[in-house]
Structure 1
Amino acid sequence: MAITQTAHDKTLQLPPVWCNELEAFSIPIDRPTTTGKRLLRVVLPATLAGDILDVTFKVGVTNNAGYPDGTRYTVGVGAHIWYYAYADPNGWANRKQIADMLTGENVTPDLHHLPLGESFAWRVPADWTAGRMVLALVVDAHSTAWEVNGGGDVLIVENGYAHLRVHRWTDPPVAA
């Protein structure tokens, strides 16, 4: 784990929140970097401003763009974590990206399989008052060559490989 209890004067809440059930099994390849697919999400228990979330994810994608009879090409893959209020009926529309967490890589036809993963700590913003929080892993696939086969190419998301796990650190309970 990336955090210690003494480093932040917080208490680890157990068990961690975990998800490995994919919401999508392919990611459309296009030009913009803002059209990602939500792959995984977790709903946290009541979350407070100042809590620290220790987030870990991994996901694997396969570049079959152009296979078997089209033009093969390199695809950029970006992974982002977003958050929103669980109780908000428009939560996904009101989501915010965790700004300091972005990872990605190019998956070439020769590389073919790309594992992506990250582990980071994030402090819940001071203005968070919504209670339960949802964290979602969104992955985008983009390329300048996306139209070479007429559009419609996708990256395959590896089933059975992906997960999103969150440990929540919060202030210790006040003694009565």
Structure 2
Amino acid sequence: MKNVFFLCILILSLSGCESDDAARSSLNSTVAGDYILTSLISNIPVDFNGDGVSNVELLLEASCFSSMDVSFLINGDFTSTVAEPSFDSNNNLSCPLSLQSGNYSLDTNSVLTVIANVNGGTITDSKQVIFTPTTFEFTVTGAEMDRYISGRNSTPAAGVTSLVAVYTKN
């Protein structure tokens, strides 16, 4: 009788895992694809390129943001080209690009979690996202920007308290 009970527990636990895996696979197939950054909207206009014209659309202010992309694979892997913005002593923006890779998961509450391989280590980040059949978008807070752009409080990016990023499927 004990063996039957343990067998039932084992079968239930395995079928629970299969259900989770099936749900995860279904979510992954929904978002799988190649996306490019098509919009990066700041809460305030900025003039990063020094042309005297301020914009809320940062793709008009810095060409490096236009090269940002991400590829989500059905198996839960991703690769991404990201800009690493910084300002020099004259407040000129530069943002070299880097390639990141790792794993991702999307839960049923539209929280995207990525585990990225960065500088020989890993970082884990979770973010609420909005997925449509052709796009996904998310908001970056000022506190999150402070983590990625050191010393930004004395730069033209100081007043930016939020960014909305929109990626479009190729």
TM-score (norm 1): 0.30
Structure number with larger C-alpha Rg = 2
Higher helix share: 2
TM-score (norm 2): 0.31
Instruction: Name the structure, 1 or 2, with higher relative contact order (CA <8 Å, separation 6+).
Output: 1
